[in-house]
Structure 1
């Protein structure tokens, strides 16, 4: 079991390119049961469909309760929900020099059980994790009840086997 450890983001980031805005960033971490489904490109979509098939029934002890509208690109567990979205666009923070230099207190890189993640503290105090070094970007957003990066360890441990199985290592498309 590997817990979060700081790593230089440069090891995780794909080659520098203009930062892209997150499309459809309607992911919610409150009691809302709706989540904007990503629109992955043709190379990414099959990977996300494979991930959907191998996701666990429980994450952090919470039963699976997928948000609406139903999509093979989204999943959820618990209420308020832990939300997963597959096929998102590359987060701008992945190419932010401040993050790469460890100078952004709200974004760090780390790994859990063979999956590398960019961890971002959001303005509302919740946390968002995005896979790095995989052929598709998978985003996991935690609700406020899981308010700190240490609270995320079990969530990421529970998701790691599915991510490793369905999303091969490599460089993801910038579009998602």
Structure 2
């Protein structure tokens, strides 16, 4: 009878442990669609992944799911970088907003949820950085951290 009681007590403890494991960082982490660039852009993106900083705007790197060398993330709410994204149609708009940050030109797009999406221009691979609405008050600070790695690994040119 004593052993039955121990098993019953162990079951709730096991359930708590399973629930805690289910609430791991994967549940709290960000997700990002993985781009599908051509071989040349993918090679550049892998080089960028190796050059990215460990912290951006004071936030530690916490890559989104699914894991990929084409995506990276920092903090919560997450700043998300995706490399090898398609060319944004807005680049055809002469009225589109753009910014230059530390030698890298970016197309600026405000999203419906209040976040900002920045996409590099005039580089051999398009790099997209999404800054969530919860981090808007930091302005382009994340781009200041990311620009050196982009400059070193994604050459100036026109992406396919």
DSSP-derived class of the 2:98 partner: strand
Partner of 1:157: 144
Q: Is the CA contact 2:123–2:158 (under 8 Å) kept in the aligned structure 1?
A: yes
Q: Is the CA contact 2:29–2:65 (under 8 Å) kept in the aligned structure 1?
A: no
Higher relative contact order (CA 8 A, sep 6+): 1
- Separation in 1, partners of 2:50, 2:70: 11
Q: CA deviation at 1:153?
A: 2.1
Residues 22-64 of structure 1 show CA distances to partners (whole Å, capped at 9, x for unaligned) of xxxxxxxxx6621110011011110000000000000000000
Q: What is the aligned-residue RMSD (CA, Å)?
A: 1.2
Give unpaired runs (5+ residues) of structure 1: 1-30
- Separation in 2, partners of 1:65, 1:32: 7
1:140 and 2:137 equivalent?
no
Residues 48-107 of structure 1 show CA distances to partners (whole Å, capped at 9, x for unaligned) of 0000000000000000000011000000000110000000000110112xxx1x3xxxx4
Q: Which among 75, 78, 93 is matched to residue 78 of structure 1?
A: 75
Q: CA deviation at 1:143?
A: 1.1
- Separation in 1, partners of 2:152, 2:77: 27
Q: Is the CA contact 2:73–2:80 (under 8 Å) kept in the aligned structure 1?
A: yes
- Separation in 1, partners of 2:32, 2:146: 19
Q: Is the CA contact 2:115–2:136 (under 8 Å) kept in the aligned structure 1?
A: yes
Bigger CA radius of gyration: 2
1:36-47 equivalences in 2 (<5 Å)? 36-47=33-44
Give the length in aligned residue pairs: 133
